[in-house]
Structure 1
């Protein structure tokens, strides 16, 4: 492509030069004056055409190569990112968790092991909710201080004439920066307005206590005192109101979740239970209370299949990208941007050796073919094919083989991950190649700048020279015409010749 561009530029410059030469001939024979501007442009272009074309062609080639390395790096990075969980062993440590009933779900994470557990749920964790006695919606209850505590933390609410209605107190509670996790709302019934307090957190320890102090005017403010006691036996919380005639009621109870796992009693302040089974989080809802279910923790072969299949797809993308970048078409004006490139060939050979090799030594070594992953029928293609049935069989029947192939020390994914890091890191072979290309582009830019300066200088020089020549030829033509008029020429006798006669 650069050869064609250079030849085209040279041909164009030669054509302009021929036109300029004709301009000189015409000017010298008196037919017309020279076209100095066209002449100078043609001469300058002829002078710099080859170098300009060469620099432009090299610049295009360098930029094309940089883009090609960018495409290769992107494909390699996508592969590296996609195999991260296979390289570090996370995928092969994933488990599924399935319960036989409703109201109990679970997720298995790091540390989980396969097993079956009988889970009996007695009660789920809940949070406390308290409702005060009824008051008038606009009744001013007095002035003083309310101290509200929850789970060992507390806040003080200053009640004065600006906020001593139920709605004013509720707003002050919700706005307090020291609020330990109590929300306040007003519920209005047929008997009047009620202040409702709710604990944000579940669990027997999260009970609400309200005390009053510094009361100077009391129109019901002292009746907002209430003491809550958490159950120590797995039951529900209890309350004692400061004023039994204007008593609080408990509509929600502070209690822990109570359950057994394999006959072992356990409890949790949250319905998201993380401490009962190592590596497993059990999530309880109301439907689970009073049920006995079987919870099964097993290898998550679906997730493993997805991860391995994705690895094959991403690897094939890298192979296809490299094939495109090194493509060759006989007779075509342009070929793959990295055709014959040693850096790409090094990367290609390294990756192919890893996926085609075995993990382990001797007869104990395992290959991808053992789990249903083989090269495409055309060896030159280089891509991998997955036999999904064989892969699923390996995942369920030969987990040790899969674990060996993708172990986090020298498994195939880990080898690919290490190699890609070596290729793409700063100072790696791709970075080194890109650095050289960018340096070359910087040099080309400097050469183009110098060439532009030389073009300006040459243009000014030629402009002055040919302007002077044009003036000289015009003077000579005028003198020639004058002398012909005096002495005669081929087709005229001349004024002096006529006088002589």
Structure 2
């Protein structure tokens, strides 16, 4: 609101400064509202931080309610002729593997090419190179008369999308040779190359294994991978075999010199990783709770510290904290382990670096021993029946409820956020109404001050006139 600078000109009173003081006093009512808006915005930011931490905890917890997490396996053997990885469905055990041959890709080579600048005829029309492999769709490549040089043919093949790579080799005799290699191993990926519309080019680079003669010859013959798994013959056109053993992928590297043992065991490390991620995510939630509810003590009678958490004393945070703590200390049934501490996961009562208590701490030796000697009970503790029992199952369900945004099923976080937003909307309405009230009040003051200024100006003029009249009368009396 603009300052009124012409008040008091007629009266001589300092009405302008008085008006400004009154305006400042009125506007302080707006400051109170904006301060409250800022506090609620801080609460929304803080509840968002808690929501994010809880979502991360739910992701980590979901791993611990899944049987697949505890059934994870890993290859513990060291093998020479092959390597192996496991996935869901792999069964722990020892398997005998013998690789008799690895899969090889076919390579074709042309006869010496004395004139690499032109392999085809000048036909005045185009010609088509067709590359076929196994049951895949043929790839057709159209070339003009000016595109039959060796370099043009190589470029065209490599740019065609065919599952073939082309290159050239220049020999000591100065002649070039075209080299075609299948990008995939196995006999099903053998190459057939035919040229239509240019017999000269066909005679230079054509190849069909069923033909009596060919321009190109086999430099490296294709072959399928062959191996035995526990004495059973397995053949594949690829050196990566994922269907011989369920959940196990074999990557063949060389021919075996003797039978090799593939050992698949339960994966302690993957379960430890899942539990460690859960502990890290839980401790992050504790850290966020400590931050948003932080309290800094002040002297008696002093204002509250500005470093206090935005959700200090908030019931939502208290409810979340109490519910999570309660679940962690709730005994589980059905296995050898009833509480986390029996597996080496304890609740630290001391104050952490983030200023909170209740963080989880892992005793790696004790947890490893539990997973090695009694993995089934660890699984039972976290998974339970998959519906109502098991820490992972219960915690995941609780977090889902807390974080729900479904209409009619809003969780505690959504409800709190909506409440804060409602407060901000109400404050915005109050601000608008207060601003209108202040403007009306200041307009009234301006009118009243203007009237006062006019009245005082008139009174001052009358006073001056009367003073002059009395002065003239007194002078006349003295003269007579």
Task: Compute the TM-score of the two structures, normalised by the length of structure 2.
Answer: 0.85
Q: Does 1:279 align with 2:250?
A: no
Gaps of 5+ in 1: 1-23, 230-239, 488-493
Contact 2:194–2:202 (CA under 8 A) maintained in structure 1? no
- Which among 406, 412, 419 is matched to residue 382 of structure 2? 406
Partners of 1:145 and 1:66 lie apart in 2 by 67
SS in 1 for 2:383: coil
The 3 A distance-change label for structure 1 pair 213 and 372 is same
> Counterparts of 1:325-340 in structure 2 under 5 Å?
325-331=292-298, 333-334=304-305, 335-340=308-313
Q: Does 1:93 align with 2:71?
A: yes
The 3 A distance-change label for structure 1 pair 146 and 467 is closer
Contact 1:36–1:467 (CA under 8 A) maintained in structure 2? no
Q: Name the residue aligned to 1:422.
A: 401
SS in 2 for 1:205: helix
Partners of 2:316 and 2:382 lie apart in 1 by 27
Partners of 1:299 and 1:365 lie apart in 2 by 19
Partners of 2:140 and 2:108 lie apart in 1 by 18
Q: Does 1:43 align with 2:27?
A: no
Q: Does 1:189 align with 2:157?
A: no
Task: Compute the TM-score of the two structures, normalised by the length of structure 1.
Answer: 0.81
Residue 284 of structure 1: how far off its partner (Å)? 1.8
The 3 A distance-change label for structure 1 pair 168 and 460 is same
Partners of 1:165 and 1:175 lie apart in 2 by 15
Contact 2:349–2:358 (CA under 8 A) maintained in structure 1? no
Q: Does 1:264 align with 2:232?
A: yes
Contact 1:182–1:198 (CA under 8 A) maintained in structure 2? yes
CA deviations 1:337-362 (Å, max 9, x no partner) are: 3233222222112111211112325x
SS in 2 for 1:298: strand
The 3 A distance-change label for structure 1 pair 223 and 325 is closer
SS in 1 for 2:98: strand
Contact 1:41–1:459 (CA under 8 A) maintained in structure 2? no
Q: Name the residue aligned to 2:218.
A: 250
Q: Does 1:350 align with 2:354?
A: no
Q: Does 1:444 align with 2:419?
A: no
Partners of 1:54 and 1:306 lie apart in 2 by 50
Q: How many residues align?
A: 448
SS in 2 for 1:392: helix
Contact 2:99–2:227 (CA under 8 A) maintained in structure 1? yes
> Counterparts of 1:19-418 in structure 2 under 5 Å?
33-47=12-26, 49=28, 51-136=29-114, 137-142=116-121, 145-153=128-136, 154-158=138-142, 161-176=145-160, 179=162, 181-191=163-173, 192-213=175-196, 215=198, 218-219=199-200, 221-222=202-203, 224-228=205-209, 242-243=213-214, 248-286=216-254, 289-290=256-257, 292-331=259-298, 333-334=304-305, 335-360=308-333, 366-378=338-350, 381-407=357-383, 409=386, 410-418=389-397
Residue 393 of structure 1: how far off its partner (Å)? 0.6
Partners of 2:375 and 2:414 lie apart in 1 by 39
The 3 A distance-change label for structure 1 pair 440 and 199 is same
Q: Name the residue aligned to 1:18.
A: none
Gaps of 5+ in 2: 1-6
SS in 1 for 2:184: coil
Residue 134 of structure 1: how far off its partner (Å)? 1.0
Partners of 2:21 and 2:144 lie apart in 1 by 96
Partners of 1:336 and 1:164 lie apart in 2 by 76
Partners of 1:444 and 1:344 lie apart in 2 by 23
Q: Name the residue aligned to 1:232.
A: none
